[in-house]
Structure 1
Amino acid sequence: MFPINRPRRLRQNSQLRRMVQETVLTANDLIYPLFAVPGEAVAVEVKSMPGVYQLSVDKIVEEAKEVYDLGIPAIILFGIPENKDADATGAWHDCGIVQKAATAVKEAVPDLVVIADTCLCEYTSHGHCGYLEVGDLTGKVLNDPTLDLLKKTAVSQAKAGADIIAPSGMMDGFVQAIREGLDEAGFQDTPILSYAAKYASAYYGPFRDAAESSPQFGDRRTYQMDPANGKEALKEVQLDIAEGADMLMVKPALSYMDIIWRVKEITNLPVAAYNVSGEYSMVKAAALNGWIDEKKVTLETLTSFKRAGADLILTYHAKDAVRWLNES
């Protein structure tokens, strides 16, 4: 009872607060997303994501070196191909843009972990994550035929040097299909980071600009999850675990910290949270207008993801966050 119990006693100064701090954010928790495009010496800023660029492979390598020097352990690669088609050829071709970027990064910075986003929406002419029925204008992806495309894509990415395969298309059975494909091709030791609970979120808007992956018609609600559902996320996670996922992801993060917590409660696998483009851009816009302290808001948000249960955080803030952490 008060005054015997005074929690403020442990908040008296910065050193004491450090000693009793429950959650500590470090560079080891962060993964930095990069967008690879064809060409040389290309660095085009994404208008809706200040500080984020579409980069040619040579520029990706420069970024990878900087990321490694900062102590960030991993990057995740997204690709924008020169040409798109119904078969998503650019996703699984050995000369695809992600494959080229992965190989170049591993040659230049072999100790940096390269994660390959394994999805098809950036590579299809219609902007959806797989095969569609001929004449379909709703965006309902054909699940089982798409699994073969994802399997081919994952194997191609692993051959190119990707250390981790991260399927994000939310197809039923995609973890099992990719696991089988990797094992058959001799990549039994390549882990799968499954986008296990990926919601059909409005927070993805700026990413569609960065990855040039907006659907040409319809939407993705027939395969991505309803933002209103929580129990369904646990079902998706349990299915992916049974199929052989090594790590799990919740996407987005900011409005889904309850999901991160619930997922972490039911599994001992590492759980990643994707601090998505809309979350990033809102902070950047508010900071540019002088409405918030960007450093404090960013570090508070990232720490909150970790407090909620995230072991890994994919974030466009990664480089800035590490610099700020080093300052303090």
Structure 2
Amino acid sequence: MDLKRLRYFVTVARLRSFTRAAEVLHMAQPPLSQRIQELEMELGVQLLDRDSRPISLTEAGQALYDQAVQVLQKTDAMLGTMRRFVSHERPCFTFGIVPANFHGDLAAIIRLYRQALPGTDVKLLELNSYEQVAALRDGRIDAGISRVPIEAEGVHRILLRQEPMVVALPEDHPLAAQEEVMTLDALKDHPFLLYLSPPRPSLADHILGQLQDRGITLSKMVEVNRYDTALLMIAAGCGLSIVPAGAQRVVTPGVTYRPLAEPITSPIVLCHRLGEASHELRALYFVLARFLVDRGHEPPLELMEGVTC
């Protein structure tokens, strides 16, 4: 089977459009359509329902797509390994991270990873949770650490842990003087900053959902596009917010933090390509499991199984 035609099919199937797929593949639409027809003739089965809008996969097409994604990923990984072997290029592992400064212990995790694999270069790309999915499929990153658990074809997710969240408020705010833990009810009548960065749902939607589950209705919500902007406005006295506890490790002048009486958490999610079993990924499993144990957290069983396989 021609891998190029297989790659064309996967692109069309993922984008559900010949036009968009042709643009991504930098080719004209007629020859792209012809390559897919040739693949269908080779297999003796229809793969796409061209009458639906957008284009949909037939049952056979879905079965082929699920297998083709893994075949192409393994092929790309093999070719990358061979290129590095021939050119004596050092292997590189690229992390996707959400673009906000509440990464907490991410620097420590990367340091441990570099110690575990001293011959491997490490790169970081700032990508939101949805962009990480696309980057994994395209091979631009090898793993992502995100805050929003997203179900996506060809992407495997592991919930590392639920991180507690805290209140971030101006250091001269009346509530900042309280020594006791803060109740959610005490926050509802103050301007509340939400970093509703697209795409949705976002971490802010996750926070709102947990507030609604507890019957808390915010009287004044102030929307901002970035987490950094929210912190700036908090420091300026414009309101308060709820942020992951790891945010406290990054000092922001004018902002203080208080624990919450009612537990609100934020998921920390590892994502990587489904079926990936590289040496570099297994090393990441080991590092993450060790990191969680050292800090008193029980690592997911899947991490431990991945370390021993």
TM-score, normalised relative to structure 2: 0.23
Q: Which has the higher contact order (CA 8 A, sep 6+)?
A: 2
Query: Which is richer in strand?
Result: 2
Q: Rg larger in 1 or in 2? A: 2
